[in-house]
Chain A
Amino acid sequence: MNRIFDFIQPALRRIAEASLAAMVVLTVADVLGRYLLSFPIVGSVELTEMLMVAVIFSGIPLATAKGGHVSVDIVTLALGPRTRKAQAVLAHLVATASSLLFGFVTWQRAWAALELRDQTTMLSLPLAPMVFFMSVLLFVNALGNLVDLIRAILEPAFHD
């Protein structure tokens, strides 16, 4: 599980880099095109939205991999090592379950988008692939949570 997730991470980084850099280039090109060449890029808003989806949903599992999601530790720091282990397992279990749920719900949404043939207004780009992409990355995020859960279970007890 661990290894699969480590294998996926570089891909996530590439997606994040490419989509964010593309967003900047697109915006600059659009603004310069509009003011200097009076030639705005058609559908730049839609393209930005698509790139946003890539940035956000690659960013979510990347944050999970770094333990970057905000949580509060003032109460758990006061617990004994045994209870703390139980708490950690429970917390990661809740996180894994919620991420899985997000993935499933978005998957359903993607099927709906496919059946309704949802598309963007200007460029008529089909939306379904993007929503499937969101769903897949949410499943990847669940995998990241699962890695943390397994680690919490295997860890003998907290020692810091």
Chain B
Amino acid sequence: MTEALVGFAAMLLLIFLQVPMAYAMALVGLVGTAYMRSWPSAYSMVGAVIYESGFQYMLSVVPLFLLMGNFITQARLSRELYAAANAFLGHRRGGLAMSTIVACGGFGAVCGSSLATAATMSKVAYPEMRALGYSAGLASGSIAAGGTLGILIPPSVVMVVYCVLTEQSIGKMFAAGILPGLVSIGCYLLAVQWTVWRNGDAGPRGRRFSWGERLRALRDVWAVVALFVVVMGGIYGGVFTATEAAGMGAFGGFVFALARGQLTPRKFSEVLVESARTTGMLFMILIGALIFANFVNFTTLPGDLQQAVQRFDLSPITVILAICALYIVLGCVLESMSMLLLTVPVFYPLVQHLGFDLIWFGIIVVVVMEISFITPPVGMNVIVLRGLLPDVSIRTMFRGVAPFVVADVFRLGILIAFPVISTLLPRYLG
């Protein structure tokens, strides 16, 4: 127990010294293992982790889904998605912000990243909302929050990493994300409703569209629908493995970007390099976290946690609530992916021991990660948006995002109370 705590403290110290998290975790993991075992075994453990994380077929979905998302972003399908949502919702008070949420959800269905979803939508949705007189807070808040749907609605890079850590099926995990994704869209729409109810000027009404216009707008999103059906339908129907689906999706994204004339050779190269770069960054953190997790498993921490639960006679649900609370606090200061990689190996044996479904726990983990994307001071979505929208202060953004954080906590409660929302669809998957 003590060794693990000292390890955590040393790692946090390095992280706060701005050592990249991957190196901080790896270094503490290495020294810790050397202390618990010996230097030679620590070296060979590090070597094995690096070697094995390179040769993992299952993880090849990560660069492929990143590539698909980057091609889709390049294809500018976000514009059509937003126009379609707007045709149905724009005439309501706060309707453009609601359209942003729905369009983000739609974009999340073909993109597995929260930051990419928020960044793409900001280019389309923000100018429209501001032009109609929306408050900067609601406009930026709805984009930042909507962006988090990218990791809950499949495909999702975060879910892939969770599945690798906990040895769950990627297909089932993706299927599990669909209904909670819809619940999230509902909760976010309520948050918009609440914001305009509090202050009617925050989101004035737009023009009402005729049904003819609506159907036309809907027809323009066929590309997104087609891609989602091929990728998710392919996994769900057992036609493709997750990796194959990701490869097909990446190819589809490439075709759309090319067909829409958005792909110069230079941009093509940039999309590929950018995807490889993000992959490298993710795998570096993955390697660091696995080294650290190996050290933690040598310590008595995992066993001690289970004993503590027994000794204090905690009910399983109390443990889940405590884990969620810890995640929300940690999520305020740590980057989301590192938080996941650092904590899941420690918690999942305990959660499994208590008799919970690990797919369901995966959804809970993704949702708390979504919260960490928009909570100050290190809400990555807000920070990225701040870079894209320099005229909005970070204070305004965090204030605008506050109703969505409340909606998030509410939604977390719903998903904990009704596990069936997460476990229903995976049940029908082979």
Contact = CB atoms under 8 A, between A and B. Distances in A.
B280 A59 contact: yes
Interface in A57-73: 57-63, 66, 68-73
B276 A55 contact: yes
Contacts of B20: 69-71, 91, 95
Contact of A62 (B54, B251, B276): B276
A34 B340 CA distance: 36
B46 A105 contact: yes
A94 B23 contact: yes
Nearest to A50: B55
Interface in B198-225: none
B15 interface: yes
Contacts of A57: 54, 280
B280 A62 contact: yes
A94 B31 CA distance: 13
A108 to B, nearest CB: 6
Contacts of B55: 49, 52-53, 127, 130
Given A28-B247, A59-B280, A87 B275 contact: no
A23 B284 contact: no
A62 B302 CA distance: 36
Nearest to A32: B248
B333 A72 contact: yes
Interface string A39-61: 00000010011011101111111
Interface stretch (B59-67, B77-85, B168-176, B189-197): B59-67
A112 to B, nearest CB: 8
Nearest to A137: B280
Nearest to B335: A70
A105 B47 contact: yes
Contacts of B53: 56
Interface string A80-98: 0000000110110011001
The CB with the most chain B CB atoms within 10 A, among A53, A55, A99, is that of: A55
Size class of the A contact interface (CB-based, 8 Å): 35 or more
Contacts of B15: 71-72
B284 A63 contact: yes
Contact of B17 (A17, A48, A90, A98): A90
Contacts of A91: 17-20
A20 to B, nearest CB: 5
Given A70-B335, A98-B27, A109-B47, A31 B247 contact: yes
Contacts of B27: 94, 98
Interface residues of B, number: 61
B276 A52 contact: no
Given A16-B272, A45-B57, A71 B18 contact: yes
Contacts of B59: 52
Given A52-B56, A56-B54, A27 B16 contact: no
Nearest to B279: A59
A21 B273 CA distance: 10
A75 B13 CA distance: 10
Contacts of A4: none
A94 B26 CA distance: 11
B347 interface: no
A20 B50 CA distance: 20
Contacts of B333: 72, 74
Contacts of B47: 105-106, 108-109
Nearest to B12: A72
Contacts of A31: 240, 244, 247-248
B21 interface: yes
B233 to A, nearest CB: 14
Nearest to A106: B50
A39 B248 CA distance: 17
6 contacts: A13-B269, A20-B276, A56-B54, A71-B20, A72-B335, A95-B23
Given A69-B285, A91-B17, A105-B43, 20 more contacts: A16-B277, A27-B247, A48-B57, A59-B281, A62-B273, A63-B278, A66-B277, A69-B20, A69-B22, A70-B281, A71-B15, A74-B378, A94-B14, A94-B27, A101-B46, A102-B26, A102-B50, A106-B50, A131-B51, A138-B50
